[in-house]
Amino acid sequence: MKVRFVAGVLLAVLSIASASAQTRKTQQQDLDRYEKYAGAAIDQFDFWSLYKWKLVGPEKVVVWSTVNDAYLLTVDKPCPGLEWTKAIGVTSKQRRIVSSKFDYVSYGNGSRCQIREIRPIDYKRMLDDGEDAKK
């Protein structure tokens, strides 16, 4: 009985470790793809609403302000738990996202991390190249 319990616990731990390794690997692959289309850092962008978002690392998230306007956000380290969150929000001042001083990615139970860098993604070119179909 005890041996079965220990074996079950070990199997569960290995399953969790395998799932998180795959998630990190997938996030890194996604980050590599988005970075190929990311431009130089900018200070701010217009933001009316969060169309969609995708986690691509422990301190990286891609947000879409419209169907075609995507931005790679890097937040300050450490940002514990961001890479595993199921929902995010983004603060904005006067309908703009501003890096370095004012705006944050919020997630979980009130956690938030300051946006350190914003890089626009040429999402139209990415789609034209068929890259986003590789999700």
pLDDT tens for residues 49-68?
889 999 998 999 999 999 99
Write out pLDDT tens, residues 65-91: 999 999 999 999 899 989 888 999 998
Q: What is the pLDDT of residue 51?
A: 92
Overall number of domains in the chain: 1
Q: Are 97 and 53 in contact (CB under 8 A)?
A: no
| The total number of residues written for the chain in this structure | 135
Q: Are 72 and 34 in contact (CB under 8 A)?
A: yes
Q: Are 71 and 120 in contact (CB under 8 A)?
A: yes
Structural domain boundaries enclosing 71: 2-134
The model's pTM? 0.78
Of 78, 65, 86, whose CA–CA distance to 114 is shortest? 78
What are the angstrom distances between the C-alpha of 93 and each of 19, 46, 72, 81, 100? 37, 10, 19, 25, 13
